[in-house]
Structure 1
Amino acid sequence: MEDDARSWWNAWAEQFQEAYGGGAIEVGIDWGPGAPKDDDMGLLGDLEGKKAIELGCGGAQFGIAIAERGVDVTGVDISAAQLSYARKHADERGQDITFVESSVTDMPMISDETYDLAFSAFAFQWVKDLQACFEEAYRVLKPGGKLVFSVDHPFYKIVDPETHAFKQSYFDDEPRRQYSETVDAEMVIYRRKIGETVNLLLEAGFHIEGVHEPGYDTPDDYVSEFGSFDPDLMATVPPTVIYSARKR
Structure 2
Amino acid sequence: MNNRYTDLNSNIIDQWVGQNWEWGVPVSHETYVKALQGNWDVVLTPLKPVPKEWFPSFEDCRILGLASGGGQQMPIFSALGAMCTVMDYSQKQLDSEAMVANREGYSINMVKGDMTERFPFEDESFDMIFHPVSNCYIEDVYHVWNECYRVLKKGGLLIAGMDNGMNYIFDDEETTLTNKLPFNPLKNRELYNICINNDYGIQFSHTIEEQIGGQLKAGFQITDLYEDTNGDGKLHEYNVPTYMATRAIKKGND
TM-score range, shorter chain: 0.7 to 0.9
Q: Counterparts of 2:213 and 2:235 in 1: how far apart (Å)?
A: 31
State whether structure 2 residue 51 is matched by structure 1 residue 40. Answer: yes
Q: Counterparts of 1:106 and 1:163 in 2: how far apart (Å)?
A: 33
Decide which of 222, 237, 241 is 2:240's aligned counterpart: 237
Q: Counterparts of 2:12 and 2:106 in 1: how far apart (Å)?
A: 27
Cα 1:159–1:11, aligned 2, differ >3 Å: closer, same or farther?
closer
Cα 1:214–1:232, aligned 2, differ >3 Å: closer, same or farther?
closer
Amino acid at match of 1:56: A
Q: Name the Cα RMSD after superposition.
A: 3.0
Identify the residue that residue 3 of structure 1 maps to in structure 2.
Answer: 7
Partner SS for 1:178? helix
Q: 1:68-106: per-residue Cα shift (whole Å, max 9, x none)?
A: 111111000012222112111221222211101111233
Q: 1:150-207: per-residue Cα shift (whole Å, max 9, x none)?
A: 12332244246867564444x43324753467xxx55111111122212221222222
Q: Counterparts of 1:109 and 1:172 in 2: how far apart (Å)?
A: 30
Q: Counterparts of 1:149 and 1:86 in 2: how far apart (Å)?
A: 20
CA contact (8 A) 1:58 1:83 kept: yes
Paired positions, count: 231
Q: TM-score, structure 2 length as denominator? A: 0.77
Identify the residue that residue 218 of structure 2 maps to in structure 1.
Answer: 204
Q: TM-score, structure 1 length as denominator? A: 0.79
- Which structure is higher in RCO with an 8 Å CA cutoff and minimum separation 6? 1
Cα 1:205–1:21, aligned 2, differ >3 Å: closer, same or farther?
same
Q: Counterparts of 1:61 and 1:163 in 2: how far apart (Å)?
A: 28
Q: Counterparts of 1:93 and 1:83 in 2: how far apart (Å)?
A: 16
More strand by share: 1
State whether structure 2 residue 14 is matched by structure 1 residue 14. Answer: no
Q: Which runs of 5+ in 2 are unaligned?
A: 33-40, 186-190
Q: Which runs of 5+ in 1 are unaligned?
A: 216-221
Amino acid at match of 1:32: T
